A and B are shown apart, each in its own frame.
Chain A
Amino acid sequence: MAQATRDGRQRPLWMGRRMRRVLGAALTYLILTVGSLLFLFPLYWQVSTSLKTWQDAQRFPPVWVPWPPRFQNYVELMERFPVAQYLRNTVFIVVLVIVGVLLSSSLAAYGFSRLRMPGRDIIFLILLSTLMLPGAVLVIPQFVLFQTLHWVNTYKPLIVPAFFGNPFSIFLLRQFFLTIPLDLEDAARIDGAGYVRTYAQIVLPLARPALLAIAIYTFLGTWNDFFGPLIYLSDREKYTLAVALRYLQGSVRSRPENHLLMAAATLSIIPCIFIFLFAQRQFIQGTVVTGVKG
């Protein structure tokens, strides 16, 4: 391009390159900054609406900065709805699910990666194939199963399956275990450690990054899960936060109290934001996605 527009050879080519680089960088920053504003503004609007009075929330032209911020909205929300109870329910489920997934998946992954058994790899492939199965396919049959077990309207359908392995986590952990040098385990075995001890004292501590990534993933998935609690929980006091939000959205529809709804939505995303900031490196480096640093 540079050569075509100018007739001198060396100087313009060099100039053109440099100019192009600067222009390219400027354009990149411009696009990414505008995009960032577009991406972040809805979140800002959520928080700012949650700090407005009912009247200010509906005003036109919009009130950009709520001043003074009305933290009282959060108090009012807590008083009118048992948010603390929903929070406790959600945390209860999330903690047990994380424990279950980590335990059962790491056990299975250890078996699949380190211990030899005839037919082992075929079993692994069959388990892995369920990853391609859309969850929707299993929803109704699983509901029928839990219905006959009288588990509906309890937390069991949401928690118990976690203790029986999760194909995705098994896959990630198995990949990770395969990168751990065998010498360590061999040394432990020579020193007389059994399989359980090798698993618990050698492999698990080494796999901490992968376990952390899976814990984060499981946290987000369970915290945000809507469909499961929606179909399994019918008593209002058993609701998780996600289902409670939906109930809230419906119950205030007659008089749209958007400032309270946004307060509730903000409360529900705060833990996710914290987890993200805490584990940012795992996310950004893609450890969470692939289980291995790429």
Chain B
Amino acid sequence: MPAPPRTASVQEVSVASETVAVRPKKGLFHLSLQRREAIACACFIAPAVLGFLAFSLFPLTTSAFLSLTDYRLAGRPHFVGLANYATLLSDNLFWQSVRVTSIYALAVVPLWLINSLALAILMNQNLRGMHLFRTIYYVPAMLSGVAVSMLWIWLLNQRYGLVNMLLGLAGIQGPNWLRDPRWALFSIIMVSQWSVGWYLPIWLGALQGIPTELYEAAEIDGSNWWDKIRHITLPMVSPVIFYNLVMNIIWATQLFTEVFMMTEGGPRFATLSYMLYLYQNAFSYNKMGLATAMSWLLFVAVLLLTIVAFKSSPMWVYYEAERRRP
């Protein structure tokens, strides 16, 4: 027997209960089903809503005020207007941190996406043993930033590190990777590539969603592998590329652990990331007001980035279910 559509049956029940509700004792606690459901819903989501108010909204709004003060821990905030923002904009180190973070994000995110997509395309073939490769590439991606940083400090050690030892065996004298201003940021970017496997499951999921007929048709038309990647694979996964590009650029602006551990922002501020400078202002120099102003500038920058990304997406992202204007 076919069941009646659920929505209809619930409507009936709730309507029935309201008409019936007139008859029995009208106690204080007698509520219609809808009311009761709404109250239950409120109870279920209450912790999350409270958490949002207490740990996101409240700090965010108070920080808007704090960014206009000279607040220090164990002190009272004094209103200073936009002085913090003015200080930042004329601070060379602030601009250095913006520069470092931008270079990092613009280098690391495309490298991540290109490398991981290339690996995923290789692994998405119908060959034996691909499972093992996925596992291998994934392992470094889930290790902690601190342990990974310690390992690379050791590997990139000028005299005893493995990297320079291998170069030495080949007769090349390696640079002092983390202590040379010309190489430090490059080293950080390269170390980040070690976690490229993080994206493999996402890509493999997307690749497996592409209908094989497309490739078969292309093959009949005589396309080679590069044509297939360019005209089928890339357009079909472009929504995923887009999503990951946006999310990871946001994520890359938060570079902290690696530079804090491996270079402490040096040498000569070559790896002073935005988050590291924010941290130093807040916890080394106790300039909470200034640090909050930095948070807000970052917030605005990320917001703008996101808006630009979403505005630009129709130009190059292909959504299968979307109808386009001719």
Residue of A nearest to B3 (CB): A183
CA distance A195 to B140 in the complex (A): 43
Given contact pairs A1-B224, A249-B150, A249-B261, A137 touches B298 in the complex (Cβ within 8 A) = yes
A82-116 contacts to B, CB under 8 A, are 104-105, 107-108, 110-112, 115-116
Complex contact A294–B208 (CB within 8 A): yes
Contact with A along B111-141 (1 / 0, CB 8 A): 0000000010011010101010111111110
Q: Does B100 contact A (CB under 8 A)?
A: no
A12 contacts chain B at the CB level, 8 A cutoff: no
B162 contacts which chain A residues (CB < 8 A)? 41-42, 45, 62
Indicate if the CB atoms of B55 and A161 lie closer than 8 Å: yes
Docked Cα-Cα span, A175 to B226, in Å, equals: 36
CB distance from A73 to the nearest CB of B (A): 14
* A153: Cβ under 8 A from any B Cβ: no
Chain A residue nearest to B206 in the complex (CB) = A294
Q: Are B44 and A110 in contact (CB under 8 A)?
A: yes
Q: Which residues of A contact B257 (CB under 8 A)?
A: 226-227
How many CB-defined contacts (below 8 Å) exist between A and B? 275
User: Does the CB pair B44–A290 fall under 8 Å?
Assistant: no
Q: Which residue of A lies closest to B257 (CB)?
A: A226
**Which residues of A264-291 are within 8 A (CB) of B?**
264-265, 268-269, 272-273, 276, 280, 283-286, 288-290
How many chain A residues sit at the interface, stated as a range, is 35 or more
Q: Are B282 and A143 in contact (CB under 8 A)?
A: yes
Q: Choose from B145, B165, B295 the contact partner of A61 (Cβ within 8 Å).
A: B165
B202, closest chain A residue (CB): A289
* CB neighbors of B among A109-143 (8 A): 110-112, 115-118, 120, 123, 126-127, 130, 132-143
Does A127 contact B34, Cβ atoms closer than 8 Å? Answer: no
CB neighbours (8 Å) of B298 from chain A are 134, 136-137
For B172-204 the 0/1 string (1 means CB < 8 A from A) is 000000000000000000000010010001101
User: Judging by beta carbons under 8 Å apart, are B135 and A269 in contact?
Assistant: no
B6 contacts the other chain (CB 8 A): yes
Q: Is A233 an interface residue (CB 8 A)?
A: no
- How far, in Å, is A280 (CB) from chain B's closest CB? 6
**Cβ A161 vs Cβ B47 within 8 A:** no
Q: Which residues does chain A contribute within 8 Å of B194, judged by CB atoms?
A: 39, 42
> With an 8 A cutoff between CB atoms, is A65 at the interface?
no
Residue numbers in A under 8 Å from B48 (CB-CB): 104-105, 107-108, 127, 164-165, 167, 170
| Chain A residues positioned under 8 Å from B160 (CB to CB) | 57-58, 60, 256, 258
User: Within 8 Å of chain A (Cβ to Cβ): is B275?
Assistant: yes
* Given contact pairs A224-B143, A284-B131, A284-B138, A133 touches B299 in the complex (Cβ within 8 A): yes
Contact A226 to B146, CB < 8 A, known contacts A39-B136, A61-B165, A284-B135: yes
Given known A123-B45, A283-B201, A289-B201, contact A273–B275 (CB-CB < 8 A): no
Chain A residue, CB-CB nearest to B299: A137
B residues near A53, Cβ cutoff 8 Å: none
B254 CB within 8 Å of chain A: yes
Q: Which of A25, A145, A231, A283 is in CB contact (< 8 Å) with B127? A: A25
The interface residues of chain B lying within 8 Å CB-to-CB of A167 are 48, 52
- Bound-state Cα–Cα, A36 to B129, Å: 13
Q: Given the complex of chains A and B, what is the CA–CA distance between A133 and B295 in angstroms? A: 11
Any chain B CB within 8 A of the CB of A204? Answer: no
B59 & A141 in contact (Cβ 8 Å cutoff): yes
- Does chain B have a CB within 8 A of A154? no
CB <8 Å contact, A104 and B122? no
B238 neighbours in A (Cβ, 8 Å): none
Q: Which residues of A contact B159 (CB under 8 A)?
A: 58
Which residues of B from 27 to 43 have beta carbons under 8 Å from A? 34, 37-38, 40-43
Q: Identify the A interface with B (CB < 8 A).
A: 1, 24-25, 28-29, 31-32, 35-36, 39-43, 45-46, 49, 57-58, 60-62, 104-105, 107-108, 110-112, 115-118, 120, 123, 126-127, 130, 132-145, 147, 161, 163-165, 167, 170, 182-183, 186, 195, 199, 220, 223-224, 226-227, 231, 242-243, 245-246, 249, 256, 258, 261-262, 264-265, 268-269, 272-273, 276, 280, 283-286, 288-290, 294
Besides A137-B302, A164-B50, 4 more A-B contacts (Cβ < 8 Å) are A134-B302, A262-B154, A269-B147, A276-B139
Closest 9 CB pairs of A and B: A164-B51, A165-B48, A111-B44, A141-B59, A115-B41, A224-B144, A141-B63, A294-B205, A108-B48
| A-B contact list, 14 entries, CB within 8 Å | A39-B136, A43-B140, A133-B56, A134-B250, A134-B299, A136-B295, A141-B62, A161-B51, A226-B144, A242-B145, A246-B146, A249-B150, A256-B160, A284-B138
Residues of B within 8 A of A (CB): 3, 6, 34, 37-38, 40-45, 47-52, 54-56, 58-60, 62-63, 66, 71, 73, 119, 122-123, 125, 127, 129, 131, 133-140, 142-147, 150-155, 157, 159-160, 162, 165, 168-169, 194, 197, 201-202, 204-206, 208-209, 224-225, 250-251, 253-254, 256-257, 260-261, 274-275, 278-279, 282-283, 288, 291-292, 295-296, 298-299, 302, 306
